[in-house]
Chain A
Amino acid sequence: AQKVTQAQTEISVVEKEDVTLDCVYETRDTTYYLFWYKQPPSGELVFLIRRNSFDEQNEISGRYSWNFQKSTSSFNFTITASQVVDSAVYFCALRVWGQGGKLIFGQGTELSVKP
């Protein structure tokens, strides 16, 4: 079975703190994609990053960085020097082949960044 677990339901930090959002996934497929999406209060899902199962390189984009480790089935997301505008719900998701290529989402982590 495929599954995505985001154990942190809510995280609250003060502006400029670093914060890491955890994501653990389960799949028997050898080919899959992992994603992070951001959902601001407006509700729309905003794509942040995609990783395929053959690429374990960490990625950095500005204040955002992602750590993909197949050995622990984890795909964690770190925001450096958090800002109030980072406040949102963040979803980790898994996409596998077959079944229409659907996305399986974790339950989301609500991040609150206070000034």
Chain B
Amino acid sequence: SQTIHQWPATLVQPVGSPLSLECTVEGTSNPNLYWYRQAAGRGLQLLFYSVGIGQISSEVPQNLSASRPQDRQFILSSKKLLLSDSGFYLCACPGGSGANVLTFGAGSRLTVL
């Protein structure tokens, strides 16, 4: 089964600073990859998904961007953070508990001050 690594686990950044969150996956090849954000306590919002290297689909207009430079690497970035970018960011990938089950990483908690 695959393993999803996310880092950093926790990040505190000032408004206007850049951001890079990284997700890497082990134990699978050419997976679909997803970035979700959980803001202010609960709801999980899909930000981006990727079906292959260099292929990024954006779900909502926002201050963030994503890239997939390698098969098992998915990066979430921002050039200038906003207060509203604070939240818990989760990377996900199919597999683990079944072919159609999304498995999630441990998440990166971002606080923008």
Residue among B101, B105, B106 with the highest chain A CB neighbour number at 10 A: B101
| A96 → chain B closest CB, angstroms | 11
Binds A, one of B14-22, B67-75, B77-85, B90-98: B90-98
Report whether over half of chain A's contact residues are helix, strand or loop; otherwise say mixed. Answer: strand
Contact A100 B32 (CB under 8 A): yes
Contact B92 A47 (CB under 8 A): no
Give a binary string over A71-90; 1 marks a CB under 8 Å from any B CB, 0 the rest. Answer: 00000000000000000010
Contact A110 to B42, CB < 8 A, known contacts A47-B103, A95-B100, A100-B34: yes
Contact B51 A100 (CB under 8 A): yes
Report whether over half of chain B's contact residues are helix, strand or loop; otherwise say mixed. Answer: strand
Contact A50 to B100, CB < 8 A, known contacts A91-B44, A100-B32: yes
In the bound complex, CA of A110 to CA of B43 (Å):
11
Contact A95 to B107, CB < 8 A, known contacts A47-B97, A100-B32, A102-B46: no
Contact A100 to B57, CB < 8 A, known contacts A44-B104, A50-B101: yes
Q: Give the size of the chain B interface in residues (CB under 8 angstroms).
A: 28
Contacts of A64 in B (CB 8 A): none
Contact A89 to B42, CB < 8 A, known contacts A33-B100, A44-B104, A102-B49: yes
Binding site for B on A (CB under 8 A): 33, 35, 37, 43-45, 47, 50, 52, 89, 91, 95, 99-105, 107-108, 110
What would 20 A/B residue contacts be, using CB atoms closer than 8 Å? A35-B102, A43-B106, A44-B105, A44-B106, A45-B90, A45-B104, A47-B102, A52-B100, A91-B44, A99-B57, A100-B34, A101-B100, A102-B46, A103-B34, A103-B44, A103-B46, A103-B102, A105-B36, A108-B44, A110-B42
